[in-house]
Structure 1
Amino acid sequence: MLIINVRPWGGNAVDIEVRDGRIAALHPAGTAAVNAGTAGGAVDGRHRIAIPAFTDVHVHLDSTRIGLPFREHTGGPGVWNMMCNDRENWRDTPIPYPEVVAGTLERMIARGTTRVRSYAQVDVDCRLERFEAVLAAKERFARAATVEIMAFPQAGLLLEDGTVPLLEDALRAGATTIGGIDPCQLDRDPVRHLDIVFGLAERYGVDVDIHLHEPGHLGVFSAELIFERTRALGMQGRVSLSHAYDLANVHPDVSARLLEQMAELDIAWATVAPASGGTQFDLARMTDAGIRVGLGEDGQRDYWSPYGNCDMLDRAWQLAFTHRLRKDRLIEHCAAIATVGGASIMDRAVRRLTSPDDRPGLAVGDEADIVLVDGETVTSTVMDRGADRTVIHDGRVVADGLSVLPDPAA
């Protein structure tokens, strides 16, 4: 396949030659004629910007109301109250729940997200029902996106008997990451909580992701326990912290020490770009330190929050806005985090960003996961978030004009 007349990261126009799902060559625009050996034909880029396809590294596909009628938000404050609100309502949908989950993934792909790490809640209420819905959506759109599933104990590990065996069932059924959540605040036994999470990770050979909403020095305490286990088990590069925003609001020396340990242990950070009245992590500083940073939409129009619309370009704008960024290079850096940054968390073979000015993902040899977007520059694309998009996954066009294309083999 040839992708004709596109501007990688807003640079000079080129023709991109794709073979076997990877970028095979970059030619000056207009010089790579379509030939019989290019089985996929040509895609007219129309001088649009080419960036790597988006990676949503923190999404709850199992907690969504995308495609359903809007409803009043009824959740109470705190993780437990929000979880209970979700638990009371998630089955109440006018179309089958698995269709809601699949429809959300389809909408994400249509807008340019082809790499997804999704949580799937596992507890004594839903058992594996939500996990199985995410797994079915993954299989349905396997041609158009790479999806990893995390077995996630949203209700904690210790508060309800029977949770841990269900998590093991999910890991045996194909989950590739085990989650944990607020070891001190929710389960109130951080040592046992983390021993279970890391024990399952070691037993099943999977990655770890810890939701950390805990404030101040309580969050610091949990983070340092996570660092200890990462080091002891040799799990460098296989652990992520999600949220963990308040680690930036402690004494600067403490925050700096935490970032140093994250860099040393290759512990990634996944953010959903929330509004914050406090100090935000410095994205450029984290990237310079070698910390993998990824972006996600979290829940989308769900029982936790009415925000989220399946568009990672919107979320890249939100990342820049909530971090109060104005310079073009730093806004482009947010787009890099939303694409290659998250990809390097899902797949350690993907090179991490090396600086706020690094724009990888579109060189010869890279996977042909690309989204073509309209805009004068990458920054203008982030600001305007237009609808003229063509999505390429594994060297095939899978979506165009905000619609997923039918599988020709189906």
Structure 2
Amino acid sequence: MWIRDVRPWGGPTSDVRLEGGLVAEVRPRDDEADRPAGARHPGAAGEEELEGRGRLLLPSFSDVHVHLDSTRLGLPFRPHTGGPGVWTMMLNDRAHWRDAEVGVVGRATHTLGLMIARGATRVRSFAQVDVDCGLERLEAVLAARETHRDRAEVQVIAFPQAGLLREEGSARVLEDALRAGADVVGGIDPCSLDRDPVRHLDLVFDLAQRYAVPVDIHLHEPGDLGRFSADLVCERTAALGMQGDVLISHGYGLWDGTESQTQGLVERLAELDIATATVAPGGRQTLPLARLAEAGVRVGLGQDGQRDYWSPYGNGDLLDRTWQLAFTHGFRADELVEHALAVATRGGASIMDRELPRLAGTADRPGLAPGDRADLVLVAGETPTSVVMDRPQDRTVLHRGRVVADGLTLT
């Protein structure tokens, strides 16, 4: 396929050739006005062509923190009934998720389709597993992945939302989820939720070792408590040789310490190749995004729950969340706004595929060179910054070199 008349990362107008699911060539635009009469576009006979219409060409979005098993997108709005704290919110979700107008398989499948249509072709979704739901929610996310298997790459995280120690049998269900096909093992707030961080993390990392899967730890814990849990995660990563296979999600409390604490943690994450994923929350300490990028820490973006029993926020559009990332960090300079876009695209991709290089600073714009996977989004706009500000609906989405959505509609 040739994609005609596009501007990679907002640069000069180009024609881009795809072959075997990869970007094969990027060449300056072959202008019709400069071509002799009767001459055709370069390329072999029979090659498909996609008209870019002067739109920007970007790597497709990578949503690396989403809960497809708890979404209510597409269903009637309902009052927010959750209370404060992770345990209280978990109990509220547990009381209501089975009563939705559509079953969890239908909801997960619908929301994943919305995300793909808006440009996300790499997705990392949590699936809650506990003594209440067993593997039902995991199986729903696996079913959604199967439905959209030709449109997106989806990694599924077995996630013990209720902890591992508070309810008898929780650790056994988590292991059952790995046997059932989960790609990643999750953990959550080892100090504040389970109140035994050593045992909690030992269970999680032991499963990761035995099933050869990565680790993703939800960390909502504040300040020094969160930094203590992060230190324990770092210790295990180093001791077990799991560099590149561990991610800390959220990490709300990690960045409100002293300058030396912040710098030390950035350096430690970079040294151990421990990634982090943010959902760009408001009202909390922001990530030191520029410093993390310069150090080479992998950072990805996600939408978390989407209009579910935890929160009324979320709409399936990671470009909207990219705007939120830039806004909550106070970014105004083009380089920094575009860096938010790089985090939402190639930053998350490098978490799902550790063979991809880390972003090399706030000016790094990878993902569109020959040899890169042809997971792409064409979007109308003047510049990458204008795309983040305006979030245009004129988008065409490709996964592995094939058009999977156009105009926010799946193909």
Q: TM-score, normalised on structure 1?
A: 0.97
2:8 corresponds to which residue? 8
2:23 corresponds to which residue? 23
Equivalent position amino acid for 2:252 in 1: Y
Aligned-partner SS, 2:332: coil
C-alpha contact (below 8 Å) 2:269/2:297 kept by paired residues: yes
1:389 corresponds to which residue? 395
Runs of 4+, deviation exceeding 3 Å? 34-39
C-alpha contact (below 8 Å) 1:7/1:48 kept by paired residues: yes
C-alpha contact (below 8 Å) 2:114/2:316 kept by paired residues: yes
Aligned partners of 1:307 and 1:84: how far apart in 2?
19
Aligned-partner SS, 2:193: coil
Structure 1, residues 145-191: CA drift from partner, whole Å, max 9, x if none? Answer: 00000000000001111111111111112111100000000000000
Structure 1 residue corresponding to 2:334, chosen from 328, 331, 344: 328
Aligned partners of 2:255 and 2:87: how far apart in 1?
24
Range moving further from structure 2, 223-232 or 24-33: 24-33
C-alpha contact (below 8 Å) 1:301/1:309 kept by paired residues: yes
Structure 1, residues 194-238: CA drift from partner, whole Å, max 9, x if none? Answer: 000000000000000110000111111111011100000000010
- Measured after TM superposition, the shift of residue 36 of structure 1 is 4.7
C-alpha contact (below 8 Å) 1:2/1:38 kept by paired residues: no
Matched, 1:266 2:280: no
2:254 corresponds to which residue? 247
Structure 1 residue corresponding to 2:201, chosen from 194, 197, 214: 194
Aligned partners of 1:36 and 1:29: how far apart in 2?
17
Equivalent position amino acid for 2:172 in 1: P
- Measured after TM superposition, the shift of residue 97 of structure 1 is 2.2
2:84 corresponds to which residue? 77
Aligned partners of 1:34 and 1:398: how far apart in 2?
25
Structure 1 residue corresponding to 2:371, chosen from 356, 365, 370: 365
Aligned partners of 1:226 and 1:349: how far apart in 2?
22
C-alpha contact (below 8 Å) 1:392/1:399 kept by paired residues: yes
- Measured after TM superposition, the shift of residue 27 of structure 1 is 1.8
C-alpha contact (below 8 Å) 1:110/1:403 kept by paired residues: yes
1:317 corresponds to which residue? 323
Structure 2 residue corresponding to 1:300, chosen from 306, 309, 313: 306
Structure 1, residues 102-160: CA drift from partner, whole Å, max 9, x if none? Answer: 00000000000000000000001110000000000001101000000000000000111
Matched, 1:343 2:339: no
| 1:1-400 matches, cutoff 5 A | 1-30=1-30, 33=41, 35-37=43-45, 39=47, 41-277=48-284, 279-400=285-406
C-alpha contact (below 8 Å) 1:207/1:238 kept by paired residues: yes
Equivalent position amino acid for 1:137 in 2: A
Equivalent position amino acid for 1:372 in 2: L
User: Unaligned stretches of 5+ in structure 1?
Assistant: 406-410
C-alpha contact (below 8 Å) 1:2/1:34 kept by paired residues: no
Aligned partners of 1:8 and 1:351: how far apart in 2?
19
1:408 corresponds to which residue? none
- Measured after TM superposition, the shift of residue 95 of structure 1 is 2.2
- Measured after TM superposition, the shift of residue 53 of structure 1 is 0.1
C-alpha contact (below 8 Å) 2:128/2:137 kept by paired residues: yes
User: Unaligned stretches of 5+ in structure 2?
Assistant: 32-39
C-alpha contact (below 8 Å) 2:21/2:373 kept by paired residues: yes
- Sequence identity, in percent? 62
Aligned-partner SS, 2:149: coil
C-alpha contact (below 8 Å) 2:276/2:300 kept by paired residues: yes
Range moving further from structure 2, 193-202 or 156-165: 156-165
Aligned-partner SS, 1:63: coil
2:35 corresponds to which residue? none
- Measured after TM superposition, the shift of residue 30 of structure 1 is 2.5
C-alpha contact (below 8 Å) 1:34/1:42 kept by paired residues: no
- Measured after TM superposition, the shift of residue 374 of structure 1 is 0.8
Equivalent position amino acid for 2:204 in 1: V
Aligned partners of 2:345 and 2:186: how far apart in 1?
22
Aligned partners of 2:393 and 2:286: how far apart in 1?
30
Aligned partners of 2:237 and 2:327: how far apart in 1?
33
Equivalent position amino acid for 2:173 in 1: L
Aligned partners of 1:137 and 1:97: how far apart in 2?
10
Aligned partners of 1:254 and 1:26: how far apart in 2?
44
Aligned partners of 1:37 and 1:59: how far apart in 2?
42
Aligned partners of 2:166 and 2:16: how far apart in 1?
53
Aligned partners of 2:42 and 2:75: how far apart in 1?
44
Q: TM-score, normalised on structure 2?
A: 0.96
C-alpha contact (below 8 Å) 2:70/2:104 kept by paired residues: no
Aligned partners of 1:96 and 1:192: how far apart in 2?
35
Aligned-partner SS, 1:305: coil
Aligned-partner SS, 2:385: helix
Equivalent position amino acid for 1:331 in 2: V
